[in-house]
Amino acid sequence: MIFYFTATGNSLYVSKQLDEERRSIAQAIHDQNKHYSYEKIGIVCPIFGHEVPPLVKEFMESSVFETDYFYMILTYGNRHANAAELAEKLCKKLNIAVDYINVILMVDNFLPGFDMEEQKKIDKHVEEQIELIRQDLKERKEWIMPATKTDREAHEEFLSRMKKMPQNDVLHAYHITKDCIGCGICEKICPKGCFKVEDQKSNQDPKGCIMCMACIHACPTKAIQMNMPEKNKNARYRNENISICEIIDANIQK
């Protein structure tokens, strides 16, 4: 069983290659009984600032995993730093016996940092990475990707930069322009239910926003824009192997 979180399809694609039995964390987090018992249990998710997303942390904190083999696969687009080490520390804190943690380099969907058109041109050998991990999991390999001094320094540098940013940047990350057609995709694809369409116009309540960017990448008219400079305002991303309907099915708050 894989529990996954996806915003633009990368982690969902990886999950589909690794296990036929999958559950979206955006929906599983609402389970009344979060006691899961399977032969193997995996968590597949992107990293935000070298750590698992807040939604994934919340799910792990409130769940009990009964399994002989627990693993985590972390997708990233530029620098993973000591993400595996930080994930292992989280597991130890939550008394989760983790056997395997690895990372996969994919397209980075962070619009202020990357031009999506340029990102899509880079061959990151995703299939080869997935195949190596698939073999590891088949053999039940016990391995945590090690962190170097440089990896840890990269994370400390990131934390230092974040401290200098205004505290309400996330709350004011997006604005919705007059190009909104009220299609409701943002309302359906947001894993935190931050959008509501009224009178053919989308409105965002940013209080629950985790800046996963599912909304801004999925908007068909690019009516959702960032309040910080983007590398390419005309470029958006979704994993080419995943449909927008699949991401909506994974994230919609029923």
All domains in the chain, ordered by first residue: 2-161 (3.40.50.360), 174-251 (3.30.70.20)
pLDDT of residue 169: 60
> What does the block give as tokens for 112?
């202020």
> What does the block give as tokens for 162?
């974040």
Gap between the Cα atoms of 235 and 239, Å rounded: 13
Taking alpha carbons only, the member of 54, 55, 97 closest to residue 72 is: 97
pLDDT of residue 163: 79
| Secondary structure letter of residue 165 according to DSSP | S
pLDDT of residue 254: 77
pLDDT tens for the chain, 254 residues: list them: 999 999 999 999 999 999 999 999 999 999 999 999 999 999 999 999 999 999 999 999 999 999 999 999 999 998 899 999 999 999 999 999 999 999 999 999 999 999 999 998 999 999 999 999 999 999 999 999 999 999 999 989 988 888 777 666 666 789 999 999 999 999 999 999 999 999 999 999 988 899 999 999 999 999 999 998 999 999 999 999 999 999 999 999 97
> What does the block give as tokens for 243?
């449909």
Tokens 């597991």 sit on residue: 91
Gap between the Cα atoms of 105 and 108, Å rounded: 9
> What does the block give as tokens for 160?
């230092």
pLDDT of residue 168: 62
Taking alpha carbons only, the member of 68, 75, 63 closest to residue 41 is: 68
Q: Count H helices, E strands: the chain?
A: 10, 12
Assess contact for 16 and 250: CB atoms under 8 A.
no
Gap between the Cα atoms of 124 and 132, Å rounded: 14
> What does the block give as tokens for 209?
């926003």
Across the chain, where does the E strand assignment appear?
A: 2-4, 22-24, 35-37, 40-46, 64-66, 69-76, 100-105, 143-144, 174-176, 195-198, 201-204, 224-226
pLDDT of residue 171: 65
Assess contact for 66 and 37: CB atoms under 8 A.
yes
> What does the block give as tokens for 135?
């073999």
- CA count, 13 A, side-chain hemisphere, 147: 20
